[in-house]
Structure 1
């Protein structure tokens, strides 16, 4: 067992909370980091004998291990699985992000752990959920965004869709939704004393994050054409521009008063200010902004 950077001396609203994090990629390590930074005591379980993972970093830069205590176990051995169950008896939260059925085959699924600790919050993430036709499929952020239609909306009108790093499905739809569910379950447990399972599917979380855009589309206020709307680079006052020194500037002034000030400083002609939301003016407005930056 080893201690990761800054694992001691915890402060924050979750001091005293005991979390077990099953090592993996994507949303679970970020969720573990968030809980650790809020004061939780996080024990990270890593598999014995594994090679260095993709994009692994030295410990001083590795946020997947930061603030945790590290324990290496072989969970396929009975003694390793038994130790894991004993640890879960004293934990508040368990986090895992394996494919559906993996923890159950190890004898470490929610049913087994909740039998040992009825107050446990068992948090898990998957790409497509625990069941259904896609449950067993592997994927990445770009995969889940493509399936739920969000990827289509990201990018310029004259180009192909652009992967938004791995921020939307992995971290937004996965880690953030998982942490929200965990905190809600901890609040519920404070009233009932009972634990529960929190299951965050990344394709569902990404769809939830896009709910406002679906609402705008349904109301006729958002075009399904990429790069034709206020927030997707369609509006010239919410986009990036190459500057004269070969670098780039981000322009974000949706509200009329901010756009008016932007136009005064640049400057832009007054008719652009009075017609900010007139889409017929957007092409010449864009050209005028590009000419001045």
Structure 2
């Protein structure tokens, strides 16, 4: 299966399993834009609604690199005006999914809460993503990935024994517990709508989504197989055979040979004393085993170890940088990274056998003009001109 082709705009040539689906994305930062990008590249037509007076975000990007806006049409709309809210309601009447990531109550204050929108379009899927959920004592507080991981108990579990917790970028609560759970929710609701004809509201919370990702860890903890402290368990650097080690050139390799047969292959190639193989899970040997592995790994460079272990099941991998990962032979063979204009980025994922996807592209001029965007929703040209003269649209 080949990587998806480069797109020619937000709406031109849309293909994929969601082709024909229409989505409204209420503009924000972080996981909601990622969810919208993925829905767009699966074929959905996505309209991103931005504030008419929206300012540059904290980390603003040139258009060529701004994945928060690529693959969409853009409408800057003053939603504080009644006619702005009414226009959005009319657009929602012809939409399948609306996703938003505001604090609880914001959409309601704009007159665009789910009760109002679903009254106009009972088949709409209304996806809501927040840090803490739509209710509860923390629901109206601000936060970021690190905040939600702290409340989920996961930040406490990430890091080495005796060292502070380590933020795992913003990949766990924001993008995985947030964007991925939101997508799962709206697609499940779409399936239910195919049987009932009715839309519904999805309340996705990043604290809960991140917690769900850790469901197996909670099971291990309940069964007495996990210590509620970081750096002392099977998957958190507590074991010497699931950790990273420095190589002769100051780089690192990742070792993850948990299973005895994989560990035996690793020990043979390092080499490592067979007494460690016979007693892999004897915790009393782990300090000595860790020191022996560290001494052995320091004898070669990272890439030399990649040559030694690259075609084995020893579960040893070179720790690549973000830029190095793009050029790894496996990723090149799979076309796991693709170029879109000046941007080289991860290819859309997952892949589908029966539908090719369209790679998101920088919005064209037509994708950002209210007349062109609203015409797709059937709004009359004279009305669009009148609304424009009234100052409803931003530049």
TM-score per shorter chain, which class? over 0.9
Partner of 1:155: 159
Which runs of structure 2 are paired with 1:6-155 in the superposition (5 Å)? Answer: 7-155=11-159
Which shows bigger deviation, 251-260 or 192-201? 251-260
Partner of 2:269: 265
Partner of 1:227: 231
Encode CA deviations 1:35-66: one digit per residue, 9 max, x unaligned: 11111111111111221101121111111112
Alpha-carbon shift at residue 158 of structure 1 (Å): 2.4
Partner of 2:207: 203
C-alpha distance in structure 2 between counterparts of 1:89 and 1:162, whole Å = 45
Alpha-carbon shift at residue 233 of structure 1 (Å): 0.6
Encode CA deviations 1:72-129: one digit per residue, 9 max, x unaligned: 1111112211111111000000000000000000001101110110000000111111
Aligned residues of 1:5 and 1:60 also touching (Cα < 8 A): no
Aligned residues of 1:4 and 1:65 also touching (Cα < 8 A): no
C-alpha distance in structure 2 between counterparts of 1:112 and 1:62, whole Å = 32
Alpha-carbon shift at residue 161 of structure 1 (Å): 0.4
Aligned residues of 1:5 and 1:65 also touching (Cα < 8 A): no
C-alpha distance in structure 1 between counterparts of 2:81 and 2:18, whole Å = 32
C-alpha distance in structure 1 between counterparts of 2:207 and 2:8, whole Å = 31
Q: CA RMSD in A?
A: 1.3
Pair 4,118 (structure 1): closer, same or farther in 2 beyond 3 Å? farther
C-alpha distance in structure 1 between counterparts of 2:106 and 2:190, whole Å = 25
C-alpha distance in structure 1 between counterparts of 2:184 and 2:238, whole Å = 32
What TM-score does the superposition give when structure 1 sets the normalisation length? 0.97
1:176 equivalent in alignment to 2:180:
yes
Alpha-carbon shift at residue 4 of structure 1 (Å): 9.0
Alpha-carbon shift at residue 135 of structure 1 (Å): 1.0
Matched residues, number: 291
1:284 equivalent in alignment to 2:310:
no
Q: Kindly indicate whether structure 1 or structure 2 has the higher relative contact order, using CA contacts under 8 Å at least 6 residues apart.
A: 2
What TM-score does the superposition give when structure 2 sets the normalisation length? 0.72
Alpha-carbon shift at residue 8 of structure 1 (Å): 2.2
C-alpha distance in structure 2 between counterparts of 1:4 and 1:69, whole Å = 12
Partner of 1:186: 190
Runs of 4 or more consecutive aligned structure 1 residues displaced over 3 Å after TM superposition: 3-7
C-alpha distance in structure 2 between counterparts of 1:164 and 1:266, whole Å = 30
3-state SS, counterpart of residue 267 of structure 2: helix
Aligned residues of 1:123 and 1:198 also touching (Cα < 8 A): yes
Structure 1 stretches lacking a partner, 5+ long:
none
Aligned residues of 2:10 and 2:73 also touching (Cα < 8 A): no
Structure exhibiting the larger radius of gyration computed from Cα positions: 2
Alpha-carbon shift at residue 7 of structure 1 (Å): 4.2
Aligned residues of 1:4 and 1:69 also touching (Cα < 8 A): no
